[in-house]
Structure 1
Amino acid sequence: MDYPVLWPMPTRWADNDQYGHVNNVTYYSYFDTAVNAWLMRATGTDITALPALGVVAQTSCRFHGSVSFPDQLRVGLRISRLGTSSITYDLAIFRETDGGLELAATGDFVHVYVDTETREPVPIPDVVRAAAAELVTE
């Protein structure tokens, strides 16, 4: 487990589907929430107020185990690519157990930074790049 950040993520009652486990689409919400919450904390900035915003251009998820409410989760974050206008996050979802952490899912998430007005790609804002550089693992 080589993730510099393990962001806490509680499950919610509404996350469970009729089969009694967290619905697969919810894992993407966990990824999105963890990445953006970490960015806000790491930069000390309201990222929605920057002149460029990160839009999700690609995401994927591979399931390794099931989670359900009231599980407590950790979302592992690391960065495999820090480009000029995009960041590729490698992510993992772990379920907290008495014995530690159990892998539930892995995935990736690509933010492409665009101008808030034109929606054209622009360089990653300096404050975001500085924070992201600390999570680059490859």
Structure 2
Amino acid sequence: MRTIEYIEDFTSWAEEFNFYIPVNIRFSETDMYGHMNNVSPFIYFEEARIAYLQSLGLFNDFSNKEEGIIVADLQCNYIKQLFFGDEVQVHVKTKEVGNSSFDIHYMVTKGNFDVVLTARGRLVYIDANLGKSKPLTEDMKEKLLGRTFSKTQVKPTP
């Protein structure tokens, strides 16, 4: 596998994932040859990110317009092609937690743990009224770092 700048040791990086969701590549996400469109993974990342954060008991109140998280950046590395009908697992983990932001990493696998995509993104906790970042609470940091889990925590293993 080629070198990816946010992954120092691929084996240890991959072993740190303990949450994933299954995704089926839909026809509407492909071109006329059945090849997955290059924007589709970002939809899968969003779906997996929401499920992951909810499993941690974080950011579940979508009616709260006062505060929330936004995606500050998101990058994807395409390792292998995907096609209509492929079934994949979108793995998610917290990689780094700062004062008001945190890095999420993604690994998409197919079949018997065949890595097809990797990705990372920075999320920022914001005060929507001020339009500025807001410090994460200690409880949020603990949950993101995996030191505490809510009762709804789901930790499927591949």
| TM superposition score category, shorter chain reference | 0.7 to 0.9
TM-score norm. by structure 2 comes to: 0.74
- Candidates 91, 101, 105, aligned match of 1:86: 101
Q: How does 1:1-138 map to 2 (within 5 A)?
A: 1-2=14-15, 3-43=17-57, 46-50=60-64, 51-95=66-110, 97=111, 100-125=112-137, 128-134=140-146
CA RMSD of the aligned region, Å?
Answer: 2.0
Name the CA distance, whole Å, in 2 between partners of 1:52 and 1:130. Answer: 19
Task: Write the deviation string for residues 21-60 of structure 1: whole angstroms up to 9, x where unpaired.
Answer: 1111111111111111211222076242454211010110
Letter of the 2:107 counterpart? A
Name the CA distance, whole Å, in 2 between partners of 1:126 and 1:53. Answer: 16
| Alignment: residue pair count | 132
Conserved in 2, the CA contact under 8 Å of 1:53 and 1:113? yes
Runs of 4+ deviating beyond 3 Å: 125-128
Conserved in 1, the CA contact under 8 Å of 2:59 and 2:68? no
**Which has more radius of gyration?**
2
How far the C-alpha of 1:13 sits from its partner, in A, is: 2.0
Name the CA distance, whole Å, in 1 between partners of 2:61 and 2:123. Answer: 13
